[in-house]
Structure 1
Amino acid sequence: MINDTEINQIKKTLRNSIDNDYIAGANLMIIKDGKEIFYHEDGWADKEAGIPIKRDSIFRLYSMTKPVTAAGVMILLERGDIDLYDPVSKYIPSFKNQMVDEGGKLVPAVREVNLKDLLSMTSGLVYGGDNRAGRDTEALFIEIKNRLLGDSPMSTVEAMSRLGECVLAFQPGTSWNYGTSADVLGAVIEIASGISYGEFLKKELFEPLGMWDTGFWIPSEKRHRLVRAYEDNGLGKLQPYTGNNLGIINQMDINPAFESGGAGLASTIDDYSKFTTMLMNGGNLDDVQILRPKTVKYLTSGTLNEIQQKSFDEWLTLSGHSYGNLMRVMTDCSKAGDLGCLGEYGWDGWLGAYFCNCPEDDLTFLFMMQKKDAGTTTLTRKLRNIILSSCCK
C-alpha cells in the first residue's frame, strides 16, 4: 500500500509539473485489489477562468478510446457476429482491391486487410507520413476536419469508406504501424450491429457499467465540466489549444457524424475506472458480465509475430512491450524504461490520458491531463515509478 512518504512524493511531483507550467492540472487514481486506495487532483481545468480540476472533470480521451473499441469488437466476437479473419471489405467494400506503396511504387495488396490486422495495427493503415499512404490519409482527415462543422459532415461509415480508397503503407500483416485501424473497427461495429457506433457503446458498455459521463459529445448541462486543452507556446509556457485534431470537435458540443473509434470519446476518471475494473475482473463489474474471462485474456494479450514485433520495437519508449488488440502489453520488465509488471496492459491518449492494469498485482493506475502531443509523458512515468515501486511485488 501507499504510505505517507509516497503520497507526498506523488503530490510533489504533480505540483512541480503545474508550477513549472508543464501541465495545467490533472487527476489520478490508484485501485488495488478491487478497491480505490488513492485519489488526488491538482491544478486547473481552465487556468484562465480559475476553474480547478475536480473528480467529475471531463477529459478528451483521444487514443484511450481505442481499448474501448477493442472491447466492442470482443463483444461481437463472443456472440459469433464477426470472425477476426473476416476481410474488412465484407463490411466496407472499398477495402477490396487496395494498393500498397512499396518504395514509391504502387502494387496490389497480396491479400485483403482483415479485422485481426486492424486490432493489431498490422493493416498498413497509418495516421500520416511522407509516403503515399501518409499523404492520402492526411488529405482525408483534412476533409473530415473541413466538413466537421458544416452542413454535410462526414459520417463514420463514409469516412472509413473513403479511407479504404487510400493506399496502404505496407502489405497487410507484414509490419506494424500505429494508425487509423481503430477508426475502421468503429465503422465495422456500426455495420455489423446495425446501430450507430455511439449507440452500440452506450447500449453494450456505458449504460451497463454506469459510465454516465462517457460519450462522443457532451450535453450542454455537463459542458462546464470539460477540461480545457493546452499546448506549449514554444517558450515553455502553456497556452489554450483550440484545434480539431483527427476529426474530433475540440469543444465536444455537437453530436458528431464521425464517431471516431480511435480517438473520439470523452470521459471522467471515475467512468474510465469502471471500464478498467471490468477488465481486471475478467469482464465483470458489480455482477454485470460484459465479457467472459477467456475473451478478456485474449483482449489483453500481445498478438504480434516476430516480424511485426521488430517494427513495434522501434517505439523506443515502449521497449519491453508488445502490442495486441489496440493496447501495449508488458513482456519483459528488464527492457522497459520505467518500472512495470509482467503482463500489464493499457494505453494513452494524444492529450495525455493514461491507464495501465497490472493483473498480477491487481493494480490499476489512471491519470488524466489535457496537453497537446502528450501521450505518455515523463510526468506519467515518474508517477508510475513512485506508485508501482510501492504497490507491486
Structure 2
Amino acid sequence: MKTIHPLFIFIFSLLIFSCQNSKEQEELIFDEAAQFRLDSTLEAFVSQGKVAGISALIFEKGQERYFNALGYADEEANRKMSRETMVQIYSMTKPITGAALMKAYEQGLFELDDPLEKYLPEFADMKVYQGVDENGEMILTEAQRSITVRDITRHTAGFPNRDNIPGLSEVMAEKDARNFNNTLSDMAVKIGSTPLWFEPGTQWEYGLCVDMQAYLVEKVTGVPYEQFVRENILDPLEMNETMYFVPENYRDRMAAVYQKTNEGGVERQNDSIAYRFSYNKWPLTPGGFGLSSTIDDYLKFAKMLLNEGKHEEKTILKPETIQLMSTNHLPDSIPEDKRSWLPSKGQVGFGIDFAVRTAAPQGPEENPGVVGEFFWDGALSTLFFVDPTNELIAILFVQLTPYDGIGLHHDFRQAIYGPWKPSKN
C-alpha cells in the first residue's frame, strides 16, 4: 500500500480551505463590491454638501465588515465624525422601549390582547371622532372595542397625530400631551381624554403609542420607566453611552444637528433647539424618542436582536420573544390607504416597534431589502436594520432634518445590496 506524501496532504488541505473560504466570501452580501459602493455613496453625500457628517457600520455573519465615518460631527468646531460621536437617535429609541416592554411581558405581567384599560384606566370608555357638525363641534361615538396592548405596539390604537383634523387637532394642541414637563402619567391622562381619531385596530397611524408602552411598563412593574429600561436592557447590554440626559462631560462628542436648505445644502440648527431635550433634565421619560447613543452602543442592541435575545453569555430576551417582536402584526383588514406613510418604507408590515419586510421590492425606486428584515429609523435620518436571512446588521448615523429628504436611506440600502434586479427578487 502506497503512502500519501505529507506535502500532497498539505497542499490538498490548503485547496479545500481555499475553496471553503472562497465559498464563504461568495455568500457574503457585503463583499468588496458593496464596500466600494458604500464608500462612494457616503462620500458623495458629504462632498455634495447634502450632509455635514455621516457614519455607517455593517456587521455580517459574526464579524464587523465595514465602518466608515466621513465629514463633520460639528463642522463649526472642526470636529470630525467618528466612532465616538454621539447622536440623538429619536425614534430608534422605540425598539429599545419595545424590548423593555417585552421584558415585562416575559415576566407574565400582561398579555398582548389584554385591554389597555386593565392596566391604564385612563383609556377606559374611549370616544371616537366622526367629524364635526355645522357648528364645528366634534361628533363622537363610543369606541366599538377597547384599545389593546397589541394596538399600542403596532400603532393601531387610534391616537390622533396630525394638525389638520377639524376640531380634534385643536383638542390635541390644547392637551399638549408631549410637553416635556409632563410625566408619563400626565401624558396618559391627556391622551386618554382626547377622542380617538379612528376605531382601534382599523388603521395604522404613527404617534404616541410607544410613550404609552413606557407608561405601561411603569404601571405593571412598579418601577420608573427610565430605571427599568436601564436595569433590564441598557445595562445588561453594556450600553453605557446610551442615555436620555447627556451630561457636560459627553457633550464634546455630540453631533450638531443640520437642516436641509432650499438650495440643497445644509445649515446648522440652533443648538438651543437641537439639544433642548437632551441637555435638560425633564419630567418626561418618553418611550418614543429621547435617547442619544453611539454607533457601537446601538450595535450591541442590534446584535442582541440578531442573536435571538442573547448578548455574549447573557439572555436579555427569549428567542420566541424576538420572533414575536419581528413578526408582522398588522392584519390584512387594514388596507394600504389606511396605513399612513408606512408603505413609503417598502413592502412592509409592522411588528412590535419595528417595520417588518413582508415582500421583496417591486422596483428600483423602492427601498432595497430582504423579506424578513426588521428595521426602524429616527427623525434626524438615522437608520438601522437587521437582516436575519443573511445574518446582517446595518446602522447609519447622521443628524439631518427634515427626515431623509435626500434619498439617503434608499441609496444606503442599495449600496449594501446592489442595484435592483427582478431575477433576484
What TM-score do the two structures reach when normalised by structure 2?
Answer: 0.84
- Tell me if the contact between 1:330 and 1:341 (Cα under 8 Å) persists in the aligned partners: yes
1:364 paired residue number:
393
Q: Secondary structure at the match of 2:211?
A: helix
**Offset at 1:175?**
1.5
**Offset at 1:87?**
2.4
2:352 paired residue number:
325
Gaps of 5+ in 1: none
1:122 paired residue number:
156
**Offset at 1:16?**
1.6
1:301 paired residue number:
327
Partners of 1:122 and 1:144 in 2: CA distance: 19
2:220 paired residue number:
192
**Offset at 1:344?**
0.3
**Offset at 1:135?**
3.8
Q: Deviations over 1:287-314 (max 9, x none)?
A: 1101110111011010011122532276
2:144 paired residue number:
110
Worse-matched range after superposition: 103-112 or 167-176: 103-112
1:344 paired residue number:
373
Worse-matched range after superposition: 47-56 or 1-10: 1-10
**Offset at 1:111?**
1.8
1:62 paired residue number:
90
Partners of 1:207 and 1:53 in 2: CA distance: 26
**Offset at 1:126?**
3.2
1:315–1:44 CA distance, 2 compared to 1 (3 A): same
1:278 paired residue number:
304
Q: Secondary structure at the match of 1:308?
A: coil
Q: Deviations over 1:151-198 (max 9, x none)?
A: xx2212212221111121101111211111011111111122212211
The number of aligned residues is 383
User: Does the alignment pair 1:28 with 2:51?
Assistant: no
Worse-matched range after superposition: 20-29 or 307-316: 307-316
2:339 to 312, 315, 318: 312
1:231 paired residue number:
259
1:17 paired residue number:
45
**Offset at 1:115?**
0.8
1:171–1:300 CA distance, 2 compared to 1 (3 A): same
Gaps of 5+ in 2: 1-27, 133-138
- Tell me if the contact between 1:124 and 1:171 (Cα under 8 Å) persists in the aligned partners: yes
**Offset at 1:102?**
1.7
Worse-matched range after superposition: 353-362 or 159-168: 159-168
1:136 paired residue number:
171
- Tell me if the contact between 2:153 and 2:352 (Cα under 8 Å) persists in the aligned partners: yes
Partners of 1:357 and 1:85 in 2: CA distance: 26
1:258 paired residue number:
284
**Offset at 1:317?**
1.9
1:83 paired residue number:
111
**Offset at 1:32?**
0.4
Question: Which amino acid is 2:155 matched to?
Answer: M
Partners of 2:415 and 2:303 in 1: CA distance: 21
Partners of 1:8 and 1:162 in 2: CA distance: 51
Question: Which amino acid is 1:67 matched to?
Answer: P
Q: Deviations over 1:36-87 (max 9, x none)?
A: 1111101111111111111011111111111111111111111101122232
- Tell me if the contact between 2:361 and 2:367 (Cα under 8 Å) persists in the aligned partners: no
User: Does the alignment pair 1:355 with 2:384?
Assistant: yes
Question: Which amino acid is 1:197 matched to?
Answer: Y
Which stretches of structure 1, 4 residues or more, deviate above 3 A after TM superposition? Answer: 1-6, 132-141, 242-245, 248-251, 313-316
**Offset at 1:13?**
1.4
Q: Secondary structure at the match of 1:301?
A: coil
Question: Which amino acid is 1:21 matched to?
Answer: G
Match runs of 1:287-298 below 5 Å: 287-298=313-324
1:73 paired residue number:
101
What TM-score do the two structures reach when normalised by structure 1?
Answer: 0.91
Identity %: 26
Partners of 2:81 and 2:361 in 1: CA distance: 36
Worse-matched range after superposition: 85-94 or 72-81: 85-94
Match runs of 1:169-188 below 5 Å: 169-188=197-216
